[in-house]
Amino acid sequence: MNKSLLNILLLTYVTTFGLVACDNQGPAEQAGEQVDETVEQVQEQTEQAVDDTQEALGVESEGTMEQMGEAVDEAVNDAAQATGDQAEAAGESMDDTTQAAGDMMDDTMEAAGEAMDDATQAAGDMMDDTMEAAEDTAEAVGETMDEISAEAERKVNEVLEESEQ
């Protein structure tokens, strides 16, 4: 509690010094001085109230309050340490998750590559089968054309023989 009060006082004095450093005092600076005076009065009243409260409670000004301050400091340090430990654990968990995701991605890419290879092989096999079927068909058509040609030649020869007679 004393530390907070001291921090407020320090902030007020620094602000006051900054305002006092100006040479020309316009209406805003005069208003600032009035605010500073009011703040100082409130601080003095607060200090007096703290002193009166400590006195009424029978608290030593440095003993018990200092112990309370140290206890608060220790609690804050413990909380900060616990938070740091949790943040570190979260970071490690994130690292593990990132590594696992990377491994899964690598496995997926490898499987996709193998599937592409299999599909490419299957397509090549199908093309080979299609080419073989086309060659067989072309050979059959050629044989049929030869037979038709032979039959046509035979008939032409028959017609020529008949016409000669």
Mean pLDDT of all residues belonging to the chain: 78
Output the pLDDT for position 33.
Answer: 72
**Residue 32 CB partners (closer than 8 Å, separation 6+):** 19
Structure confidence by residue, pLDDT tens digits, 68-117: 667 667 777 777 787 878 888 888 888 888 898 899 999 999 999 999 99
Output the pLDDT for position 77.
Answer: 74
Structure confidence by residue, pLDDT tens digits, 48-61: 776 776 676 665 55
- Whole-model pTM: value is 0.38
With CA atoms as reference, report the closest residue to 40 among 2, 10, 18, 20. Answer: 10
Q: Which domain holds residue 53?
A: 1-57
| Residue 68 is assigned to a structural domain of this protein | no
| Residue 164 is assigned to a structural domain of this protein | no
| Coil vs helix vs strand at 136 | helix
| Residue 21 is assigned to a structural domain of this protein | yes
| Residue 24 is assigned to a structural domain of this protein | yes
What would the two tokens of residue 23 be? 């040479």
Q: How far is CA 138 from the centre of its chain?
A: 62
| Residue 127 is assigned to a structural domain of this protein | no
Residue type, 3: K
Length of the chain (residues): 165
| Residue 4 is assigned to a structural domain of this protein | yes
| Residue 123 is assigned to a structural domain of this protein | no
Tell the residue number behind the tokens 């100006």, with chain if given.
22
Output the pLDDT for position 96.
Answer: 86
Kindly give the residue spans of alpha helices, DSSP state H, lying in 21-62: 27-57
Work out how many domains the chain is built from and give that number. 1
